[in-house]
Structure 1
Amino acid sequence: MRSRSAVLAALAATAALVLAGCGGVGGGGAQGGGLAGATEGAGENDTNPLPRDQVQDGGDLRWVLDAIPDNFNRNQLDGTLGENKEVMDAVIPRAFVAQADGTVAVNEDYFTSIELTSQDPQVVTYTINPEATWDDGTPITWVDMQAQWQALNGTNEAFLVAGTSGYDAITSVERGVDDKQAVATFGTTFAEWKSIFVDGIYPASTNTDPATFNEGWINAMPLTAGPFRLETVDTTAQTITLVRNDNWWGEPAKLDRIIYRVVERDALADALANNEIDFYEIGSSVDLFQRAQGIAGVEIRQAAPPQYNHITFNGGPGAILADPALRRAVAQGIDRQIVATALVGQIVPDAGPYGSYLYPEGSENYVDHSAPVAFDPAAATAALDGLGWTSPGAGQVRTKDGQPLNLRFVTTAGNPISDQISQLVASQLTAIGVGVEFVPAASADLFDQYVTPGDFDMVGFVWGGTPFPVQSTQNIYGTTGDQNYGSIGTPEIDALYAEAFQELDDARRAELGNEIDELIWQQMPQLPLYSATGAYAVRSTLANFGARGNADFEYVDSGFTAG
């Protein structure tokens, strides 16, 4: 499933995808000009990599956030802010870390090995690093992992969990050869088992008490274990300060502190120019891209991330877009190339439409299945005619049985990227006789008041992927998914997901994933627009940090050079 980045949404799976307002992601590139296409940077990152001995000891990294996380427990329903990961990965254990090529690797700071030790029944054995301890000196043991499974498997509704996926397939977590080994046995095969325990492993004290699980991590971090530890959360100043953890057993962090600070998007360039922050994400903003080019001591770093802008359609019972044929006709009336060029063409000259729901561009499994809904206003017009939506004349709204074909397009108020996309789409739809009514929503209200209740016909935001495409998308495209906001799906799609969940062979699972993708395109629950390009404006003296692409951020080796 997917988490949020600049707006709110609930998780229903352990490895979340990133959800954001339409301005949340975008492109960038070499200082002084446009960038190569998004796919060229796929499988890479751009972080000014340097050996540790060339990075200075000390210094503060000033890190921008859109908001202070509501709850620092990432496994709790309110802890799903995408940026929460950026904070908690510095202080909490996790089983795997994402790599630039889209794969994952065992997080050796916390585990010496994680292995699939049996396929029938499925058994995964986690061997914990002997040195791994919580900051109070208590060893991290199998008990912590057992408690987390018990909290997240869905059997106790007092735990308001972000998601149960994977954990609900486990029947037991037991002690292995010693306290430093956990053995997880599955009752049903769970193919993407590496997605479990990646959103943070919290101490048993958090996961045995529902009150602590739900509320104990609000503006607090009771017990952590990472290269950094919490110093303060200042909700007035809107800052979070982490300091180097002297109890850390691994390579010590190069930085003294990481100071997270909430900065409004329109103030980012000034904040960087005034030496108040050390980087910002450019997103789809040409203005932020151009401003970054003129800031002394700043360079633009770019690596394609697994994120894309899209439009979600509402196909629920009684919705005007309940018919998939009508959704496909509407999609054919939208020129995605024009949208991509207008939004990020100055940043990524060859940006084009995104073509997969499951796999990111540049992935070896990416296949563009969007041809049946390619921009074709003549075909869209013919389809609308055939569906009984008659046109009274050029530029006028079609009707059927007295109902006008007017679509409520919920947009993020005050977001120039959202405004530009919605205006372009509306003008294109007008040309085929589809009316559009804009409904501006405050970013804080977008999901609670509109998306989650299904109070929209169209709405745009950003989806972002994980290394676990089957597990992380079933909650969106399955008929019972909590994040199937448009209520669109079929039993055939559900059946293929069920089969893919059971398929341990990676190649066969990817085949099933692409079969799922083809069926989703037929149903048209969403229209992907353009890929994010992952551009960041970064202080040039910052090493091992920047445009991470598919990879996780590096906390231990990041730091500053002499300049």
Structure 2
Amino acid sequence: MAALVAPVAALGLVLTACGGGNSGGNGLQDAGTQGVKTADINEQPLDKLKDGGDFKWPVDQLPDNWNYNQVDGTLLDGANIIGAVIPYVFSQNSDATVSLNKNYVTSAELVSSDPQVVEYKINPKAKWGNGRQFSWEDFSAQATALSGKNTAYQVSGTTGYEDISKVEKGTDDQDVKVTFGKKFAEWKSLFSPLYPKELNSDPEAFNKGWAQKPAFTAGPFKIKSVDQTGKTVILERDPAWWGDKPKLDTITYKVVERSALPDAFANGQIDFYNLNNDINLFKRAQSDANTVVRQSSYPDYTHVTFNGASSSILADKDLRLAIMKGIDTVTISKSILGQMQKDTAPLGNHLYLKGAKTYEDHSGPYKFDANAAKAQLDKLGWKQSGDFRAKDGKQLKVRLVIPSETPISQQTSQIMQSQLKAIGVNLDVQSVPTSEFFKNFVNVGNFDLTLFRWISTAFPIGGSKGVYYYDPNNINQNYGHVGDDKVNQLLDTASQELDDTKRAADINAADKEVWALGHQLPIFQSPGGFAVRKTVGNFGSPGYANTPYDYVKMGFLK
């Protein structure tokens, strides 16, 4: 099962279904077969790993906000750092199941279904970096901040939290009772990550207090340094951590330009990198004696977001759908994936990815059809005038914003440019600095079309509702401002449906409506390839087990 949470700033080189174990060499797997591993992380017993070492982790950028629940905080790079220092009540496993993290909460039980009540028992050892013990008030403050009731909180999503009617103290401060006013089937998605009440109790603190760095943390690692000039974050073991001791001494996250990743790896400056669907990187990694290519059924897909806001030329739904029909995703997918895996069929669902038993392909009515696209544009009054169409003296020109330093983004945009010119649409490709791509363009709707990737989670509603639900007063991650009451209703119904089969049907019904709105155009699912140093254990291509990663077990072989 898949849902959207973290956007990735690239197709080219990077930003949550189907057994695990060691890779049998550098050969690539076919991500379209059942032979794909759920995870490929060189799993090792801890006694086979060295005690200590610095794991060097490349990122596109440092977090725009260390509060993952704030609208600027949802980037994958940020999540990959935050997960080592901030609590997750439930952790995802590689096969999209979830497990309770007993370092933080010893039990989490549904104690009543009508009304729905969940009781959490906090681990009495759990303390924040300021010395304060975890309490029910941390849960209460986060539920209030993310409820959507106070719009001064600039939240990335309200799903689930908006359904909570009250959070109460149980038998003591470490006993939390959460009562839902409306049923929320995916309650295990909540409080992951969990922030301290000091961050959530005030909108100013929520929005800006952790923009530069966390005030304090509560994980196996803590912040050693944040260097905005050198674009580096160093985490170190937290001596106050009450759980199992991490194998690594430190984790160093450093911004590395995507084009420089292979050389940085070869020079020992990083210990892995995402191959990001780039065949040249795949081939180079395969030829490196120090490298193994690890691949899994990875919850990551590339898409085009359409901007339906009144300020965009694509505010007209019929125009969005006509342009969608002019984009040949089969050709794009073959071009990008053809040498990496057999299955190059485009993705046909926004809410479930391939490998999920509930995946259905709903793309049929919206597949590439240049003649139908031309006829629709004619009908809308956009008449051919030279190379491109025009209406009322205005050329049909749409602006596609992509991040710089992303070869696959550039390749994809060039293919789209040629395809859309063939139906009379002028695609104006604007390449912007990767560090500004989300904050100054995507998040604020400064585009007509944009290309990026969604990293998925094990919770289709918990992760995706904020992307497809439309509330003009609370956009969340619906960056294109596209939606209607029908999608809202279907997502609301699904979120309250406790029966798995019925909920999947509701989610698939919602996906059909998302297609009909011209909201987003899925292109392809990632092959999930990572180049990893051969000496690294318990890390690689994690499947769904990246929310958060198991930072305690990763390390270097003896």
Report the TM-score, using the length of structure 2 for normalisation: 0.90
Does residue 363 in structure 1 map to residue 363 in structure 2? Answer: no
Cα offsets for 1:473-495 (capped at 9, x unmatched): 22222232433333322222122
Cα distance in 2, alignment partners of residues 501 and 117 from structure 1: 19
CA contact (8 A) 1:170 1:185 kept: yes
Secondary structure, counterpart of 2:111 in structure 1 = strand
Aligned pairs, number: 545
Q: RMSD of aligned C-alpha atoms?
A: 2.7
Residues 1:51 and 2:42 aligned together: no
Task: Please say if 1:559 is aligned against 2:555.
Answer: yes
Work out whether 1:254 is the aligned partner of 2:250: no
Counterparts of 2:129 and 2:160, CA distance in 1: 28
CA–CA separation in structure 1 for the residues paired with 2:385 and 2:289: 57
Partner Cα separation in structure 2 for residue 76 and residue 321 of structure 1: 27
Separation in 2 of the partners of 1:297 and 1:149?
A: 47
Taking structure 1 as the reference length, the TM-score comes to 0.89
Which of residues 10, 16, 19 in structure 1 aligns to 2:5? 16
* Residue number in structure 1 paired with 2:423: 432
Q: Name the counterpart of 2:181.
A: 187
Tell me how far 1:375 sits from its aligned partner. 2.3
- The aligned residue for residue 72 of structure 1 is 66
Which one of the candidate residues 484, 494, 497 is aligned to 1:503?
A: 497
Equivalent residue number for residue 354 of structure 1: 347
Matching residue's letter, 1:420: Q
Q: 1:83 aligns with which of 77, 86, 98?
A: 77
Alpha-carbon distance in 2 for matches of 1:446, 1:211: 24
Deviates further, 163-172 or 420-429: 163-172
Give the counterpart of 1:196 among 182, 187, 190.
Answer: 190
Matches within 5 A, 1:62-141: 62-141=56-135
The amino acid across from 1:557 in the alignment is K
Measure how far apart 1:551 and its partner are. Answer: 1.3
Is residue 545 of structure 1 aligned with residue 536 of structure 2? Answer: no
For the residue of structure 2 that corresponds to 1:16, the secondary structure is strand
Gaps of 5+ in 1: 4-14
Matched position secondary structure for 1:529: strand
Q: Is the 8 A contact 1:353 1:530 kept in 2?
A: yes
Displacement, 1:62?
Answer: 1.0
Q: Which amino acid aligns with 1:122?
A: Q
CA contact (8 A) 2:157 2:476 kept: no
Distance 2:224 2:311 in 1: 51
Kindly state the Cα deviation for residue 30 of structure 1 after the two structures are TM-superposed: 7.0
Is the Cα contact below 8 Å between 2:164 and 2:180 reproduced in 1? yes
Q: What are the superposed Cα offsets for residues 229-263 of structure 1, whole Å, 9 maximum, x if unpaired?
A: 22222223222222222222222111111111121
Query: In structure 1, what residue type is equivalent to 2:543?
Result: G
Hey, what's the Cα distance between the residues in 2 that align with 1:531 and 1:343? Answer: 11
2:389 and 2:255 map into 1 onto residues whose CA distance is: 45
Q: Aligned match of 1:316 in 309, 313, 320?
A: 309
For residues 182 and 231 of structure 2, what CA distance do their matches in structure 1 show? 44
Residue 520 of structure 1: CA displacement?
1.4
SS, match of residue 255 in structure 1: coil
**Against the structure 1 CA distance between its residues 119 and 43, is the aligned structure 2 distance closer, same or farther, given a 3 Å change threshold?**
farther
> What's the offset of the Cα at 1:153?
2.9
Contact 1:279 1:537 in 2 (8 A): yes
Q: What does residue range 372-391 of structure 1 map to in structure 2 within 5 Å? A: 372-391=365-384
Letter in structure 2 aligned against 1:196: L
Greater displacement, 356-365 / 346-355: 346-355
Alpha-carbon distance, 1:539 to partner:
0.6
Q: Secondary structure at the match of 1:398?
A: strand
CA contact (8 A) 1:228 1:243 kept: yes
SS in 2 for 1:271: helix
Name the CA shift for 1:202/1:386 in 2 (closer, same or farther; >3 Å).
closer
Q: Which residue of 2 aligns with 1:7?
A: none
Deviates more, 1:165-174 or 1:109-118: 165-174
Match of 1:266 among 259, 262, 277: 259
Q: Percent identity?
A: 44
Matched, 1:529 2:523: yes
2:321 is paired with a residue of what secondary structure?
helix
Deviations 1:17-62 (A, max 9, x none): 3342332559xx9755543125647670110011222222221111
Match of 1:443 in 2: 434
**Given residue 559 of structure 1, which amino acid in structure 2 is its aligned partner?**
G
CA deviations 1:447-486 (Å, max 9, x no partner) are: 4554445443322111222222123222222232433333
SS at match of 1:202: coil
CA distance in 1, matches of 2:123, 2:195: 16
CA distance in 1, matches of 2:116, 2:312: 42
Give, as a single letter, the amino acid of the residue that structure 2 aligns with 1:425: M
Instruction: State the one-letter code of the partner of 2:437.
Output: L
Out of 278, 288, 294, the residue aligned to residue 281 of structure 2 is: 288
With over 3 angstroms needed to count, the CA separation of the structure-2 counterparts of 1:23 and 1:127, relative to structure 1, is: same
Which of the residues 208, 216, 222 maps onto 2:201? 208
The residue aligned with 1:520 is 514
Aligned in 2, Cα 1:314/1:69: closer, same or farther, shift over 3 Å?
Answer: closer
Matches within 5 A, 1:392-403: 396-400=387-391, 402-403=393-394
Contact 1:542 1:561 in 2 (8 A): yes
Mapped partners of 2:522, 2:400: distance in 1: 16
Deviations 1:330-383 (A, max 9, x none): 222222121112123222243221110111111111111111122233333444
Q: Is the 8 A contact 1:42 1:549 kept in 2?
A: no
| Counterpart-to-counterpart distance in 2, 1:161 and 1:490 | 21
- Who is 1:297 aligned against? 290
CA distance in 2, matches of 1:209, 1:521: 38
Deviates more, 1:206-215 or 1:480-489: 206-215
| Contact persistence 2:332–2:412 (CA under 8 A) | yes
For 1:81 and 1:104, the matched residues in 2 are separated by: 21
Q: Return 131-140 or 541-550, whichever deviates more.
A: 131-140
Is the Cα–Cα contact under 8 Å of residues 153 and 168 in structure 1 kept in the other structure?
yes
Contact map agreement 1:38 1:531 (CA 8 A) in 2 = no
- Checking the alignment, whether the CA contact within 8 Å between 2:246 and 2:552 is kept in structure 1 is yes
Deviation at residue 206 of structure 1 after TM alignment: 3.1
Does 1:242 find its partner at 2:235? yes
Do the aligned partners of 2:257 and 2:405 also contact (CA within 8 Å) in 1? no
Structure 1 Cα separation of the partners of residues 416 and 184 of structure 2: 40
Alpha-carbon shift at residue 157 of structure 1 (Å): 5.1
Mapped contact 2:301–2:524 kept (Cα < 8 A):
yes
2:219 corresponds, among 222, 226, 233, to: 226
In structure 2, distance between residues paired with 1:437 and 1:220: 37
Residues 399-458 of structure 1 deviation map (CA, whole Å, 9 limit, x = unaligned)? 445544333323334432221111101111222333322233333443455444544332
Inter-partner Cα distance in structure 1 for 2:109 and 2:5: 22
Identify if the C-alpha distance between structure 1 residues 243 and 82 changes in structure 2 by more than 3 Å, giving closer, same or farther: same
The one-letter code matched in structure 1 to 2:424 is G
State the match for 1:409 in structure 2: 400
Question: 1:95, 1:297 → 2: CA distance?
Answer: 36
Deviation track 1:301-351 (CA, whole Å, cap 9, x = no partner) reads: 011322211112233347443443433332222221211121232222432
Structure-1 residue corresponding to 2:29: 35
